[in-house]
Amino acid sequence: MKQYLQIHKWQLLTAVLLLAAVALGIAPHESALGIAPMMMLSTGAFPVNPALTAIAIGYRNPDVNLIADRVLPRLPTPQKFGYTVYSAAQGYTVPNTKVGRKSDPTMVDFGGTPVNSETVDYGLDDLVPNLEIKAWEEMPKPASGGPISPLAASTMMLTGLVELDREVRVSGQVFNTNNFAAANQSTLSGTSQWSDYTNSNPLSALLTALDSTLIRPNKLVLGQQAWTVLRQHPKIVNAVYRTPQNSGSVPKEGLAELLEIDEVIIGTAFVNTARKGQPAAYSRAWGKHAALLSVSLTAAQTMQPTFGFTAQFGTRIAGEIAAPTKGLRGGTIVRSGESVQEVITCPDAGYLFQNCVS
């Protein structure tokens, strides 16, 4: 260290003067970033370099790419909760409603099947060494913006992974053939796949599906790969723009208006499917499938049919736990998680298209 100071004394002196100028308002805050190359010392795993830290990239799915909460919206519940499933026939079979002058009205009996469930805890931990926390606390920072603390960065990354796990779970539920009535699903192949622009007719398929479900869907959920193909399909483009087109692409709002549904939701998130230690293999969490769904949080709260919802106990949590025995100088365990349970309640409120593109 003594030798380092001897070699770099002029750079260090310049850095101190520049910091003083910034503090007195003589130099702009941006000037502090120029100090990084002069002041960077090796302090362990955490790089004490504000210029590099400020532009460090933590790879994760952007929040806008995650659609699980829009597909199966959250409903606050106790940790253990229950709901009742009524058969569809009870709401659609018309009894004799005629009442004689001195007779009693027909007695109707509504019977349902109670279902008991409970939320599941999902969470992750990360250990941040105290050395990294101290290094961040001592590094120069601009007045606004700049590097976030290693604890905040850890929380952000942990939360992103917990959310991605939920995204994969919800995709698995929504695109599961067991969660749809047998008549409300199609597996596309060959010329019926929407990527076959010559022979397939996705517009007819979607309109027919909308008319075939007992509960009319209000949302179309697609994986990005299916959406990229569907939005460019000539029959969709021609119908949205109401004129023959040689090529083109339609927006989500245009397709929603054409189908007379509330919204089109696109799943764009990526997930690494490789096992730990193997080379990364990235794929879309929502695959190449599509589903028309009737989803309404209000319906779930008022005994109306809805394809599904997410039971949520409490709120998401994030906190710190002291870990003085970890490493040479101790550390802090960062924890992030939530208690939820994805619930599919009405198979008659959706229609599934599997393998929409080749």
Q: Note whether 175 and 82 are same-domain residues.
A: yes
Domain total in the chain: 2
In a domain, 27, yes or no: yes
Q: Residue 241's pLDDT is what?
A: 93
In a domain, 99, yes or no: no
In a domain, 50, yes or no: no
Q: Helix, strand, or coil here: 257?
A: helix
In a domain, 69, yes or no: yes
Q: Note whether 35 and 67 are same-domain residues.
A: no
In a domain, 49, yes or no: no
Q: Note whether 154 and 245 are same-domain residues.
A: yes
In a domain, 277, yes or no: yes
Q: Note whether 316 and 253 are same-domain residues.
A: yes
Q: Note whether 303 and 162 are same-domain residues.
A: yes
Q: Note whether 303 and 212 are same-domain residues.
A: yes
Q: How far is CA 274 from CA 61, 258, 277, 282, 287, in A?
A: 17, 39, 8, 8, 16
CATH number of domain containing 198: 3.90.1690.10
In the predicted model, is pLDDT for residue 29 greater than 80?
no
Q: Containing domain of residue 35, as a range? A: 2-39
The position carrying tokens 């009535």 is: 181
Looking at the DSSP bridge assignments, the partners of residue 55 are: none
Q: Note whether 30 and 111 are same-domain residues.
A: no
Please state, in angstroms and rounded to a whole number, the distance separating the CA atoms of residues 130 and 324: 9
Q: Note whether 6 and 126 are same-domain residues.
A: no
Q: Which helix (H) or strand (E) holds 68?
A: helix 68-71
* Cβ neighbours of residue 310 closer than 8 Å, sequence gap 6 or more: 68, 69, 72, 73, 74, 75, 170, 340, 341, 342, 343
* Cβ neighbours of residue 123 closer than 8 Å, sequence gap 6 or more: 162, 317, 335, 336, 337, 338
Note the pLDDT tens digit of each residue in 119-177. Answer: 999 999 999 999 999 988 888 888 887 778 888 888 889 899 999 999 999 999 999 99
In a domain, 97, yes or no: no
Q: What is the mean pLDDT of residues 296-300?
A: 86
Helix and strand totals (H; E) in the chain: 13, 13
Instruction: Read off the pLDDT band of 26 (50, 70, 90).
Output: low
Instruction: Read off the pLDDT band of 215 (50, 70, 90).
Output: very high
**b/e map of 21-38 (b: 16 or more CB within 10 Å)?**
ebeeeebebeebbebbee
Q: Residue 152's pLDDT is what?
A: 86
In a domain, 51, yes or no: no
Q: Note whether 30 and 133 are same-domain residues.
A: no
Q: Where are the beta strands (DSSP E) in 131-281?
A: 185-187, 219-223, 263-267, 270-272
Q: Note whether 205 and 133 are same-domain residues.
A: yes
Q: Note whether 12 and 122 are same-domain residues.
A: no
Q: Note whether 149 and 238 are same-domain residues.
A: yes
